Structures are given as structure tokens and as C-alpha cells.
Amino acid sequence: SMTIKFRGYLKNNNQLKSVDESRFEKMAIGWIDYLFVFLIILYPLTKSLKLLIFKYNGKILNVFLIDILGFIIVILLMIVHEYFHAITFSKKEDIYIWFQGFGMITHCTEIKNVKEYLYTLLLPNLCITLPLSIFVIFVKLSNPLILKMIGLVSSIIILGAINDLATIVYIIRNRKQIEYLQLSGKYMYYKKAYRGKVEK
């Protein structure tokens, strides 16, 4: 059975499992990948931020309480997001989920081909980020506190997807040069496929 281990807070990158990187190229996600992602998320992110700064003339305590509820929802969604990443790896692999900075990461050194890795990166974003982005664009509610909370949750979740999405863009752009991909330490590596053929 699959064992997904929650490892707590990542203090330094040496705690992450490494593999022999000598046969790999380090993935270098460029500004073009981030620019493309920024253009994709710009509209739902703008809508989210507008909701977050929605005017509210009631008690400040209510804003504080709704923010706490919003952050609890964010943490729960982050855990589910990482769990969706984790379940795409093989049952035989060590799969670790860490808290890192203000977010979470899933770490597994399993070798995957382009389609498999795209599935790993896409799954939580198709199940969580995309529906939330669509919801925030079309939401019609009159309660300013609930709108603020939706704005808070969606802003953080959409911003949190940037690295996943930039990695997806990079992999799609370079898919013909990539034979397979593997995480090692804090970086993603790939094995080069030469002239469209797999190197033996």
C-alpha cells in the first residue's frame, strides 16, 4: 500500500532525498515560462484581489474571524493539493510531504516520463485551482465578509500554483528534448533525449 509521509517543516534542502545527478540536466525554468503563467492567472487573480479588498463597514473583529477561517481553508486545500500530487507516484516509492516557507511541497525521486510528470503536476491544479479560478470569476454573493474570505482563499491558492504551472509550461516547451524527469534534492532534473531519439 502507498505510504505518504508528512515530515513537518523543511529546515534545509539537505533533508530532501537526492539521487545521482551526473547523468541529468538540471531544469532551468525561465522568465518566459513565468510570463506565460502570469498571463494565464492574471484575470482570476485580479478578480480574487478585488474580492479581498471588498468594502466592509461592520466590526473589525468579524474581518479578523473570517480571515482566520480563510487561512484554515487555505491550509486544508494545500494539504489536499499535495495529497493529489502524492497519489500520482508509485506505491513502491518513498513519498514525502513537507511544509516549506509559507507553503507545502511533495517530494518523491521516482523517474517519470513527460506525460506522467505532466499528470502529477496537473492533477491538483485541475481539481482545485481551476474550479476555484472559475468560481471566483462568476461568484455572485452579497455578503461582503464571505466575498473577502473567497478572495483571500483564491488569491493564495492561485499564487501557490505558479511554480507547478511554470514547470508544466517548461516541460511542454522542451518535451522533445526530455526522455524522463526526476526530483533530486530541491531541483527537478531531466534525462536528455537526443534528436528525438532516446539515448541508450
Q: What is the pLDDT of residues 6-21, one digit of tens each?
A: 999 999 999 999 999 9
Model confidence at 35: pLDDT above 50: yes
The pTM of this model reads 0.93
Q: What percent of the chain has pLDDT over 90?
A: 90
Note the pLDDT of residue 3.
Answer: 87
Question: If you average pLDDT over every residue of the chain, what do you get?
Answer: 94
DSSP string for residues in the chain: ---EEEEEE--SGGGS-----TT-EE----HHHHHHHHHHHHHHHHHHHHHHT----S-HHHHHHHHHHHHHHHHHHHHHHHHHHHTTS-TTS-EEEEEETTEEEEE----B-HHHHHHHHHHHIIIIIHHHHHHHHH-----HHHHHHHHHHHHHHHHHTHHHHHHHHHHHHTGGGEEEEEEETTEEEEEEPBTTB---
Q: What is the mean pLDDT of residues 84-93?
A: 95
